[in-house]
Amino acid sequence: MKLSKYILLGSIISLLIIIGCKKQSSFEEKRDDVLSELNLAIENAEEQGKYKCCIEPACTMCYLGHWLWKDGSCYCDDMIKEGKMDKVCPECKKGIEEGLCSSTEPCDLESGENFRAIDE
């Protein structure tokens, strides 16, 4: 399993970071630590099948509950498959614009009802 290797590697790295920065850690180190923890949590949710994000790397705002799903899940990819682009989170829309789409369906922002491409 490629993913579990990454998770193992990630936990070792975050453990080292925690040990290394136990005393005085700068803001950047703290932030990196938090972000790597967050990414690990998202990878876990992906493995459980409740984080179906449409971009690679996955969005974080859905996990944090800043969008439609409040239990640390993301179903942007399902929304794209159903053509409900207005339910795809802003972070993913931005990612799609940057060409990060990893959905099996084409990420077509134009099909959304409430969304117009910014640079049009």
| Site residues for Zn ion per CB under 5 A | 53-54, 59, 62, 74, 76, 89, 92
89 φ/ψ sector (left φ>0, alpha ψ -120 to 50, else beta): beta
Which residue of the chain is nearest Zn ion when measured via CB? 76
CB closer to Zn ion out of 23 and 99:
99
Helices (H) and strands (E) in the chain, counts: 4, 0
Q: Please report how close the Cβ of residue 31 comes to Zn ion at its closest, in angstroms.
A: 20
- Distance from C-alpha of 40 to C-alpha of 34, rounded to nearest angstrom: 10
Q: Please report how close the Cβ of residue 69 comes to Zn ion at its closest, in angstroms.
A: 8
CB closer to Zn ion out of 45 and 76:
76
CB closer to Zn ion out of 14 and 80:
80
